[in-house]
A and B are shown apart, each in its own frame.
Chain A
């Protein structure tokens, strides 16, 4: 049986452990100070939208790569300098290309990306349509006599 002071000690130890966990959780990403809430919102939106070029399946917010770190810092600096969201995206696109956007613009080179899935859907739908019509056509014709027989058998 544990005595009261021991339990209290354990509680304190536990609280300290929780503190450690929260500290390591925050250590991976740097924190920035903003002048107002709209700037912070812009920052959050941009780092979620912009793509890291090293770890290509992560956005800037998720990535821990050094390049992502640099790009986050640049994003922050540009926001503080009073640039608009569009200007910051343009800044990144001028350097890293459309690749840097998770929401790429519709243009000739991205047509397949935007409309490819729709084309596949249409192909699949027409295949299903043709298949179903064929099934209907090949369905066996049941005569009135046979119909009666079926009902009789089912009733028994």
Chain B
């Protein structure tokens, strides 16, 4: 009995291990991913000054009634450079509010001048105050906020056409923020 059971158990473990590695390889599973606490909760306020106009604070009250993206980035983040072009393309049809995180204001403005600016407004957050309120732990991170101001989706890592298709596009189809 145990002569069959033991190798069988071992084979099962091996299979499960292979399954896990395969899913990691396909990018379907990342053991370092941290599930976000914010899906289905009201979006926190973005209580920091604007990157281009430090005299005024970022306003999200007037975003009520439309679906928008909140993108956290920094000039120090290579994945942010990589997603930048796609964000520019998205910004033609989708409102994006940016959060310039842990960065130098002049360098950030220079990067946007050089590469284009996909953001309607950009919060300047060198002290991580807003980033912490949104539970951000890396850059880039993109949140989707619906017409009622509730967070519906989040992606940690660069925004790509594939990610857009899988996680975000559906919320814009009816323009209501509910799939």
Contact = CB atoms under 8 A, between A and B. Distances in A.
Contact of B102 (A66, A95, A97, A99): A66
Interface residues of A, number: 14
B135 A96 contact: yes
Interface in B115-153: 127-128, 131-135, 137-138
A97 B34 contact: yes
Nearest to B137: A53
Interface string A74-113: 1000000000000000000111110100000000000000
A67 interface: yes
A56 interface: yes
A66 B127 CA distance: 11
B103 to A, nearest CB: 11
A65 to B, nearest CB: 10
A77 to B, nearest CB: 10
Contacts of B127: 70
A95 B135 contact: yes
B40 to A, nearest CB: 13
A108 to B, nearest CB: 14
B132 A94 contact: no
Interface string A48-73: 00000110100000000011001100
Nearest to B128: A70
Interface of B: 32, 34-37, 102, 127-128, 131-135, 137-138
